Chains A and B, each alone.
Chain A
């Protein structure tokens, strides 16, 4: 496809307003296949301002006299205003942006064209996350095996080629179990909790339907999980829907595990909001955050009304419950909702951060995201990042990555020059050859120059589980994200710089003598 067909005009003179705290930029505006650029002209600083068109969420245009204004709302929550000379130019640019920002095709997206200096294609891709993870757990237990039953994605298009399953269950049984689960997402291992020999599994809902169908292989799979863990081990199914909703799902072919069919397993219902209500909650929060003039009462009432922090609390509590089941009860945990692709992943990934010190390192966190998350472009991924931020606030020394990392993940999940967050399933990713034709986000983020933004200077490895407080008094609005563009917290950034300084002084001076000491002044 030719982008040039979609570009109505080459360039125009414009002024860009980026919010109250930033000076306006003036120069030549230009639309390319993937970017909007503003070049300040030869006499000014040579800095080029660049916006990835994919990150445009919505566009408004207004014309008056012989000039026009375009307002861009971006997916990273920024609002930009462009004042453009010439009515025709304004309309052409607006149409070009509209057309280019809404392109659906993956393989024409920018990551397939992005070739930065210093990075090599194929670098830092976690080609086989389950395989890597399996190597780790194989050192601890023989009860699990790596199955390639899904090699051609015939069992489940949204699973990777290889999955970790109980050794006692063969591939045929997996295929049957997959047919009994929505979208083929049969129960697979998400995390092996070595200290207690227990496991965290995830799946989608069983397709019991009105007739209360059963599936022997599915039942056998879960029986094998308990048998492998330890004689008499118990299991808990954390269903992320209410009991009522789970029951209603039978009308549309879904359902829940029948008690009689899964001896040793007990269901716990912990309803978590997702999809539309979560999206609305997010939108209402953003509206509240966009109004600096409102009174205290109005602000508190909107903060209450949007319910975002309630969702944070529920997500964290449910993850803690799952983690507690493993750590304190020595039980196996299976998490699922309906499709098993949103709130399920929220719970399994948070539970791992709570229990597993490795997942709290920079590398471990990146692997965790690769392994657990399928769709990033949804408020549920943002909810996950918010929950991680809350963990980091309560345990400021225990995460190797800082707020900057979470913000970067948020930005890149919506629009990115890197390929990591492209596509919504492993199958698609393979079809598009994402891993060989685009750069991995991690290779970009792991460059030394990025580290100061992303790392937590105060990190000290903590081998213990981190149990957060989920009381409303302990949870805070993530200002660094929700108020990032409207209310930049400048003094605290300076303070953070000072923290870095103190921490790095510590490291350099603590580990080696300084230059001045080795070369004393005469």
Chain B
């Protein structure tokens, strides 16, 4: 509160970011403790949550030749909204600018919106909300514990790994000393644990962090744990270790970390030694070891019958952050040409990164589907790229994760519980900007690409993904606050805040995909095609608030409505049938049946017209703008050309200049 000096400013202009003629709306700007609110002259409200503000800038304005810096705030939001206000009085302008600077960056968790947000639920309702997604049930659904996998209590008090959840599933033959030993060998104690168990294939997706640097000795416990994972799969003796980092980066890294190289080689060779050694392979093995020691790469993995290494080349959080930055610079440009757009898209590299994540997930899914092999995934710390690959891989394998509820479970499991650092990656608090990165946004974008490629494969629609993205930054709900489960427990989030999921489920009719086919056997495991043509710029995410760029009519909305109407009609038919039956029982008179049917008929035209009118009732949050029938040419950029219309001289004048000005 102490940051707010001015709460209301009138005669504020909101500029359209893509209009070159500086089109604007005039209205009143209100500053509340949690939101910035603009109400324009048509009473349309624009709410901006302070937590959504990524950047407030002052704009250099050129007024009649002299350039002066005013503090008119240009606000860039984490949900990709960009707004530019012009405030008449410089003093108000200054106050608002400074308030926003303060309000958009909170120093401590307790100041986040979730701790004051009150949706008028009592304690038991809130608790039930938090229990809606229970991971214990999810592991049961997957089929663990079983004869090969068990629940380990090693991390019950977060003693082994602070960033893991309390409950972890490990191979039954892995004893506690082995787990403890392995955790000491892995960065941040994140030893290999189960992420997803494929019941039919009896194969597992496991996750961990990289081996620790600085050790010169091998870690027998870690080797044992890897062996245990491979043995927990009765169908296949070999397993994959997927390093999600790009090989070229790793090569230079390995060059400086030869020790680790040797350790990995030893792990592999140890396991390899357990198998029958054939004489002829001895030499090959030596070569491979020499290569590895020199940091030259891993071409000869096939020599090892138990572990196959795979690099998949997803770049790190810093590369991703700057890639998104470049993307936003391109698509925020006024008067963007087609050529600038595509060369910008290429330079940003964003779609290349999305494809890399997708390819990694496909590799993972194929290893399980085709080869029946278990896979261990890691990156550096095992909470960014590893989360992306494990969750997407599971999504490809298991249709449950493609339902509304299953997707919530997936996010809770692979992202929230395994310690994806939401607060740091989303910049919830005023912290290190280098920790901010759109890792989760990329995951959502990959899922969106899958929904485009498999229009019938998902129970949810795009609006669902956009809504989740909205809330990872909003800090309105407790789910995404903090960086790991331990921290969340310390913050007492389940007592002090609400869970997002019940609110999404209450609204789920907004998020249904009308084309979803839950029974299609073809869509059990998805096999997406990642040919470059298939990757498109996700306009509805990165331009979700720029209504003029969207299709003017929404297919989804009309199909949703048709579906609803069809259901209603089917119900009507059933009701009528049972009525007819009743009447028939009373008096077997066909005339009555006809009368009954005729009484339905007059209703149908009304139903049809209501279909067109009702079109807007099921709109997701931002969709109102997209369904403007016919829209308005003034919203579009060709209207600039129309300036030439108004410049036209009166007819009389032109004859005076006549031929001399022919060239035009």
Contacts and interface: CB of A to CB of B under 8 A. Distances in A.
Interface of A: 212, 234, 236, 243, 247, 256, 258-260, 263-264, 266-270, 289, 292, 294-301, 303-304, 307, 309-310, 312-313, 316-317, 320-321, 323-325, 327-329, 331, 393-398, 458, 460, 462, 464-477, 479, 483, 487, 491-492, 494-495, 498-499, 502-503, 505-506, 509-514, 516-518, 520-521
A312 B608 CA distance: 36
A473 B539 contact: yes
Interface in B638-664: 638-639, 641-642, 644-645, 648-649, 651-652, 654-655, 657-659, 661-664
Contacts of A467: 552, 630-633, 635-636
Contacts of A313: 338
Contact of B515 (A320, A466, A499): A499
Given A260-B654, A471-B548, A509-B570, 14 more contacts: A243-B663, A258-B658, A259-B658, A309-B338, A328-B633, A397-B555, A469-B548, A469-B549, A474-B551, A498-B517, A506-B562, A506-B611, A516-B577, A518-B593
Interface string B568-581: 01100100110011
A483 B533 contact: yes
B447 to A, nearest CB: 15
Contacts of A263: 651-652, 654-655
Contacts of A300: 342-343, 345-346, 351, 532
Interface string B334-362: 00111111110110010110010000000
Nearest to A294: B532
B531 A292 contact: yes
A520 B584 contact: yes
B331 interface: yes
Contacts of A510: 565, 569, 604, 607-608
B305 interface: no
B533 A479 contact: yes
A50 to B, nearest CB: 29
26 contacts: A234-B651, A247-B663, A256-B664, A259-B655, A259-B658, A268-B641, A292-B531, A295-B532, A297-B352, A304-B339, A312-B338, A324-B642, A331-B645, A394-B552, A397-B558, A398-B553, A466-B631, A469-B550, A469-B636, A471-B336, A495-B455, A503-B559, A506-B565, A513-B597, A520-B580, A521-B577
Contacts of A323: 633
A472 B551 contact: no
Contacts of B629: 398, 462, 464
A166 B314 CA distance: 67
B533 A470 contact: no
A254 to B, nearest CB: 14
Interface residues of B, number: 91
Interface of B: 18, 331, 336-343, 345-346, 349, 351-352, 355, 453-457, 514-515, 517, 529, 531-533, 535-537, 539, 543, 548-555, 558-559, 562-563, 565-566, 569-570, 573, 576-577, 580-581, 584, 593, 597, 600-601, 604, 607-608, 611-612, 629-633, 635-639, 641-642, 644-645, 648-649, 651-652, 654-655, 657-659, 661-664
A324 B639 contact: yes
B638 A470 contact: yes
A494 to B, nearest CB: 6
A211 to B, nearest CB: 12
A282 B572 CA distance: 53
B664 A289 contact: no
A300 B601 CA distance: 55
A259 B661 contact: yes
Contacts of A512: 601, 604
B551 A395 contact: yes
A354 B659 CA distance: 35
Interface-centre pick from A266, A327, A471 (highest chain B CB count, 10 A): A471
A493 to B, nearest CB: 10
Given A471-B637, A502-B559, A266 B515 contact: no
Given A263-B652, A467-B635, A502-B514, A310 B573 contact: no
Nearest to B542: A473
Given A259-B664, A264-B651, A295-B532, A472 B336 contact: yes
Contacts of A479: 533
A325 B566 contact: no
A264 B651 CA distance: 4
A42 to B, nearest CB: 34
B59 to A, nearest CB: 22
Interface-centre pick from A323, A511, A521 (highest chain B CB count, 10 A): A511
A398 to B, nearest CB: 7
A487 B663 CA distance: 49
Contacts of B655: 259-260, 263
Given A267-B664, A268-B641, A513-B573, A234 B336 contact: no
A356 B360 CA distance: 49
A467 B629 CA distance: 9
A268 B664 CA distance: 9
A189 B604 CA distance: 43
**Interface pairs A-B: 7 shortest CB-CB:** A260-B658, A464-B630, A304-B342, A472-B341, A495-B455, A299-B532, A300-B346
A35 B352 CA distance: 45
Contacts of A518: 593, 597
A304 B604 CA distance: 50
B635 A310 contact: no
A520 B576 CA distance: 10
Given A300-B351, A502-B514, A260 B659 contact: yes
A307 B630 contact: no
Nearest to B532: A299
A403 to B, nearest CB: 12
Contacts of B535: 296
Contacts of A331: 645
Given A212-B662, A260-B654, A462-B630, A517 B573 contact: yes
B651 A320 contact: no
A259 B338 contact: no
Contacts of A396: 551, 553-555
B563 A502 contact: yes
A395 B639 contact: no
B577 A472 contact: no
A351 to B, nearest CB: 12
A394 to B, nearest CB: 5
A397 B558 CA distance: 9
B604 A511 contact: yes
Contacts of A506: 562, 565-566, 611
B642 A329 contact: yes
Contacts of B352: 295-297
A474 B553 contact: no
Nearest to B606: A510
A368 B94 CA distance: 58
A20 B551 CA distance: 33
